[in-house]
Amino acid sequence: MTASVLVPSSLTREAEDKREATRKLGYVARAATVFRADRLVVFPDREGERGRFDGEFVDTVLRYATTPPYLRNEVWGMRDELEYAGILPPLRAVSRTGSESNDSGSSRQGIVTEVGPDQRVRVNCGLQHPISLNVPPSMELEEGERVTVRISSRRPVRAKLVDDSLPGIDVEWTDLEAALGREDAGVRIAASRFGAELTVGRLGTLAGRRERDGMTVAFGAPERGLPAILGMDEETVDALSRWDGVDGGGVEPTSDPGFDLWLNTVPDQGSDVVRTEEALFATLASLSLKE
């Protein structure tokens, strides 16, 4: 069961400067972390991008934000896109195998700093010094490669390399169709002010399927929601909103782009515009509720 958050490459299209664009992306990463997303996907919306803060900028800043602080200098060095990285809010992501990222038995990201003889490597994983570890027979590692380290004790240090996915949020660049078509996509939700209003009844139905299958939630960009990105008119969105692919209600429209339902998670909004980072917090908070 996984949770994926999808945002467009045009996410920072209204930012006046690099500082504001960086701040916005920091809160997107923060929302994904708070609500335990496994995957943060940037999908291309080239038509909606403006100025210097294009998809490459969005992808780089999000990848930096989700990199553990103890690895950032080594992984990223100095880059123009990261000029204002210092204003990014700390994520303080908890380990998925322990209550803290440094707990006994927790998994941490590391980076290979040296490949030695006899199937051993030195790895920086945020401890006081890089540690020497055996490489499992199933793994082939190179200098600079990121790895997963399972730490069972810090004093004395006892750790091993494991052939698992990296802890934390995985940031990807993937087109929308491919992201929605993944086998582990779960219930696929389009967040839009034109979608069906989120109600207690609908949330109860969603909670059961989300806990069983996981979910994928897609968001639009400022002044350019998902209907505009997908080139859909209001009539099509209305038909999709009345079709509830979660429990099969209504008549399925033929132009469904791959979502199970279109959902308005901020009904009766009090502002003309709900910013994408605000929509992430509102939507993911609602969808994280259990039955």
Distance CA(225)–CA(189), nearest Å, equals: 14
pLDDT tens readout for residues 70-84: 999 999 989 999 999
Domain spans, the chain: 3-93+168-288, 106-161
pLDDT of residue 204: 87
How long is the chain? 291
Average pLDDT in the chain = 88
Q: Which residues contact 148 (CB under 8 A, 6 or more apart)?
A: 107, 108, 109, 110, 161, 162, 163, 164, 165, 166, 167
**Do 62 and 56 contact (CB within 8 A), yes or no?**
no
pLDDT confidence of 130, banded at 50, 70, 90?
Answer: very high
Spatial CA neighbour of 15 closest among 87, 64, 91: 87
Query: In angstroms, rounded to a whole number, what is the distance separating the alpha carbons of residues 219 and 217?
Result: 7
Which of 2, 96, 5 lies closest to 281 in space, CA to CA?
5
140: which residues sit within 8 A by CB, 6+ positions away?
Answer: none
Which pLDDT score, from 0 to 100, does residue 244 have?
Answer: 57
* Mean pLDDT calculated for residue range 221-235: 88
The CATH homologous superfamily to which domain 3-93+168-288 belongs is SPOUT methyltransferase, trefoil knot domain (3.40.1280.10)
- The CATH architecture to which 106-161 belongs is Beta Barrel (2.40)
The pLDDT confidence band at residue 27, using thresholds 50, 70 and 90, is very high
Q: What percent of the chain has pLDDT over 70?
A: 91
Can you read off the two tokens belonging to residue 201? 């009844």
Task: Quote the percentage of the chain above a pLDDT of 90.
Answer: 64
CB atoms within 10 A of CB 185: 19
Q: Mean per-residue pLDDT for 23-48?
A: 96
Instruction: Say if residues 59 and 21 touch (Cβ distance below 8 Å).
Output: no
